[in-house]
Amino acid sequence: MMTMIQTLFDSTDFPVDERFDRWHEMAMRSLAASDIATESPHQDFRATMQHLDLGAVQIVAMTYPSLRCRRTPRLIRQNDPEYLSLGMILEGKQGIAQGGRESIAGPDDLVLYDTSHPYEAHVTAATPVVARTVVAQFPRALLPTRNFEQLLGARMSGRVGTGGLVAQFLFGLVRDADHYEPADCPRLATVFLDLLSITLARELGAGCELPPESPQNALMLRIHAFIQQHLGDPELSPVTIAAAHQISVRHLHQLFRQQDLTVSAWIRRERLARCRRDLADPRLRGRPIHAIALRWGFPRPADFTRTFRLSYDMTPSEYREMVPHSLVGVES
């Protein structure tokens, strides 16, 4: 049986003096880029990461020592995937500040934050060496809850009620990842977003109603997952996407109009994000830029360079040379 796509990482698999940098690189690829500083000596850095790919929703479970994390305006300008993140603390405490709100979250608490705005977090391990968290990351446009901005940086309980259902669901996904098949992933993403939407609506209180388009949201999740699975196909287009989901091209464009992006623009953004990730990967330093572009659906190098420059005000080679400096520029 094929299982869902997951990536496992353990810092102890690497030489002692490389462990923190390797974990930082993995975190930069799995989550929105941020500056990370650890309070543990780098030579004694012990951490793990489990990354589950549900298509539109990415789940990352981590253990690590106490650390500080900042998403700065500079990093947002470099790459803004327009994602929301939901953090669940399992062990330790996390202080987070975003949008003028500050909170301290402990075990079984939930915190929502937005990658498009600066934030700062400080995680304190429950023991001298271990904090444990699960982070779910997904496109902001897929969340139907209105006025969720009021909850950014606020602590929510994951012990009881609908928040408890969200926490149990995330914990179960991580624990039982080997028992899910790739075909389950879009449905699991839909369940998570539905549970989270209900929880946020309850947190916002009376007057907050969920829009009645759950089937439409489920369709969008399937479409997003399909696009991500076929980004490397140069023939991916609104026509092929619509045909795969048995809807008209016109209907597909209407769905994306509500996300303020055209279908082609969404595909281009996701392809560029994958290319940026590979260009930033030290393990792929020897891979030619045109091969990275081809892997993610850009068959013509000149078109890729032009598209990359228009999006990021630099060429792919300039970005590749810049990234190592930002990776090691961790503030203490």
In the predicted model, what is the mean pLDDT of residues 267-290? 85
The closest alpha carbon to 294, from 285, 286, 303, belongs to 303
Q: How many CB atoms lie within 10 A of CB 121?
A: 22
Amino acid at 283: R
Chain-centre distance for alpha carbon 275: 15
| Nearest residue to 292 (alpha-carbon basis) of 311, 269, 317, 312 | 317
pLDDT at 177 over 60: yes
| Fold of the domain built from segment(s) 230-332 | Arc Repressor Mutant, subunit A (1.10.10)
Look up residue 52 and give its two tokens: 């589950």
- % of the chain beyond a pLDDT of 70: 90
Asked if 267 and 227 touch (Cβ cutoff 8 Å), the reply is yes
250: its two tokens: 């016109």
Residue 286: CB atoms within 10 A of its CB come to 6
- Convert 172-201 to b/e letters by CB count within 10 Å (16 or more is b): ebbeebeebeeeebbebbbbbbbbbbbbbb
Dihedral of alpha carbons 264, 281, 284, 61, sign: negative
What pLDDT, in 10s, does the model give residues 202-248? Answer: 888 755 555 555 567 778 878 887 888 888 999 999 999 999 999 99
Who's near 138: CB < 8 A, 6+ residues apart? 56, 57, 58, 83, 84, 189, 193
Q: What is the pLDDT of residue 327?
A: 38
Looking at residues 263-269, what average pLDDT do you find?
90
What phi, psi does 65 have (nearest 5°)?
A: -75, 180
pLDDT range class, residue 323, cuts 50, 70, 90: low
Asked whether residue 85 carries a pLDDT value surpassing 90, the answer given is yes
On the question of pLDDT at 3 being above 70, the answer is: no
- β-pairing, 48-53 with 67-71? unpaired
Q: Is the pLDDT of residue 180 over 90?
A: no
User: 3-state SS of the chain: helix, strand, coil percent to 5?
Assistant: 50, 20, 30
What are the pLDDT digits (tens) for 132-148? 999 999 988 788 767 78
Nearest-10 crossing angle of helices 263-279, 316-328: 60
pLDDT at 172: 94
Q: What pLDDT is stored for residue 248 in this prediction?
A: 93
Nearest to 65 by CA among 35, 43, 39, 89: 39
Residue 324 has pLDDT above 70, yes or no: no
Domain 1-206 and domain 230-332 have a common topology: no
| pLDDT tens digit sequence for 4-13 | 667 788 988 8
Quick: pLDDT tens for 39-75: 766 667 889 999 898 888 899 999 999 999 999 998 8
Quick check: 25 and 34 in contact, CB under 8 A? no
Instruction: Give the residues across from 69 on adjacent strands.
Output: 36, 121
Domain boundaries, the chain: 1-206, 230-332
Report the range of poorest mean pLDDT among 33-37, 48-52, 183-187: 183-187
- Mean pLDDT over 158-163 rounds to 92
- Whether residue 93 contacts residue 143, with contact meaning beta carbons closer than 8 Å, is answered with no
Place of tokens 């590979």: 278
- Does the domain at residues 1-206 carry the CATH identifier 2.60.120.10? yes
Band (261; pLDDT cuts 50, 70, 90): confident
Nearest in space to 132 (alpha carbons), one of 50, 61, 210: 61
Supply the pTM of this predicted model: 0.73
Check residue 285 and give its pLDDT: 82
For residue 330, what pLDDT is reported?
32
User: Mean pLDDT for the chain?
Assistant: 85
Q: Closest Cα to residue 55, out of 166, 188, 177?
A: 188
